[in-house]
Amino acid sequence: MTNERRVLVHPDLDALIAAVAARFLTKLTDLFDEYHEVNVVLTGGTVGTGVQEAIAASPMRSAIDWTRVHFWWGDERFVPKADPDRNEAQARAALLDHLPTPEDHIHPFPASDEIADIDEAAEAYAEQLRQHADPGLRLPVPRFDITFLGVGPDGHIASLFPGHGVTRDGAELVVPDRSSPKPPPERLSLTLPVLNSSERIWLVLSGAEKASALGLALAGASAEEVPAAGAQGRRRTVFFVDGDAASQVPDELIASQY
């Protein structure tokens, strides 16, 4: 199995979102030739939500059999179910409410008013992962075919922040964070080994404030210092970026095509 890492640069945010949405829909079609069902891990944030809105608006959407897709999340804010800041709420409004995906194919993290204790909530999501585990993987998790990740200005991915024990041995599948440097303080996240069990990791980022984190990630910084540096899909890792975010990326690392 090959593992490739590429940086694809787009002129601006609109072009970036459109290109990622189109690539995602095309890749889903390819994956359906290989698998009966496909697992996708969603992310939140402005760019992540923008991509989801573009997928929902695309004419290509009608060509996809969405009943064959399972949706997961890489992380979630541990707040009540109705809180609009939940990644789940944003994804439902942007994309999932517009699809015929069965509800039992949508796998959100528990909310704080569903399971009050954050440790119990982490274990409950870990149990969901185990129930859908692919026996061919080292970890008891689903075969994640495409995992979307955003990248923060500090280099965080999902809710794995610098200095918060990002590098773990894989014994835990889901970790709680009670002191996130970005509000709200309580969050749930897949561990880095679980994220890296994904077939493909697509990191999507925009803006000059992300340029330093991207440059450090590609220059070999440690995952503990720059969590994005530790993202490594089993087959492929792609950084989809706009021109502003790519300002510190060496030319030799920029791919001309996917």
Beta carbons within 10 angstroms of residue 16's beta carbon: 25
Query: Does residue 192 register a pLDDT over 70?
Result: yes
Which tokens hold the place of 32? 């359906």
Q: Mean pLDDT throughout 108-114? A: 98
Beta carbons within 10 angstroms of residue 129's beta carbon: 20
Could you tell me the pTM of the whole model?
0.95
Q: What is the pLDDT of residue 5?
A: 79
Query: Does residue 99 register a pLDDT over 90?
Result: yes
Q: Going along 195-243, which residue ranges are E strands?
A: 200-205, 236-242
Calculate what percentage of the chain has a pLDDT beyond 70.
94
Report domain extents, the chain: 66-140+154-191
Q: Mean pLDDT throughout 161-189? A: 88
**Are the CB atoms for 29 and 64 separated by under 8 Å?**
yes
Topology of domain 66-140+154-191 in CATH is Rossmann fold (3.40.50)
Q: Which residue has the tokens 């590098």?
A: 167
**Are the CB atoms for 241 and 8 separated by under 8 Å?**
yes
Banded pLDDT at 256 (limits 50, 70, 90): low
Helix H or strand E encompassing 8 = strand 4-10
Q: What is the pLDDT of residue 169?
A: 65
Which tokens hold the place of 84? 């609009």
**Are the CB atoms for 38 and 28 separated by under 8 Å?**
yes
Q: What is the pLDDT of residues 205-240, one digit of tens each?
A: 999 999 999 999 999 899 999 999 999 999 999 999
Q: How far is CA 32 from CA 25, 28, 36, 37, in A?
A: 11, 6, 6, 7
Q: What is the pLDDT of residue 59?
A: 97
Q: What is the pLDDT of residue 257?
A: 61
Q: How many helices (H) and strands (E) does the chain have?
A: 6, 9
Geometric angle at alpha carbon 237, from 188 and 150, rounded to 5° = 40
Q: What is the pLDDT of residues 43-95, one digit of tens each?
A: 999 999 999 999 999 999 999 999 999 999 999 999 999 999 999 999 999 99
